[in-house]
Amino acid sequence: MDPINKEGTPKTPTVIFDADKGKVEIRGRSIPENSIEFYKPLVDWLDRYADEAKGNTEVNIQLEYFNTSSSKCILDVFKKLEAVHKKEGREVVINWYYEEDDEDMLEAGEDYQSILKIPFKMIEIQE
């Protein structure tokens, strides 16, 4: 399965999805012109990944900011990961990074955590 490697821009996050390593990473800013168009290949990739996922999948989310339409797409990504996590012998852990003074980003992570049945680790970044 081919990895996804997208370099971030001022409006889109850096994305690294690597099936061989069991790593999923999204970091930066997510305010694309069309969130659905940006996130659809990622969701499709996770659909395929669910069938051949490794035992452990590590998910690192480190966003400075995301808009409302991105938040729905990020939830779609998490729901695909939740499907991976539900399969026997598969473990998914989401590491949600937020800066120490960014209450909004912490709350966003907690909101996702309350919706999903996947282990979340809230990781504070010291400035």
- Residues ≥6 apart with Cβ < 8 Å to 63: 13, 26, 27, 28, 29, 30, 105
Domain that holds residue 72: 4-125
pLDDT in tens, 63-73: 999 999 999 99
Among residues 89, 87, 111, the alpha carbon closest in space to that of 61 is found at 111
Backbone angles phi, psi at 100, to 5 degrees: -55, -30
- Residues ≥6 apart with Cβ < 8 Å to 102: none
pLDDT in tens, 19-74: 999 999 999 999 999 999 999 999 999 999 998 887 999 999 999 999 999 999 99
Q: What pTM, to 2 d.p., does this model score?
A: 0.95
The domain tally of the chain equals 1
Q: What is the CATH number of the domain that holds 90?
A: 3.30.750.24
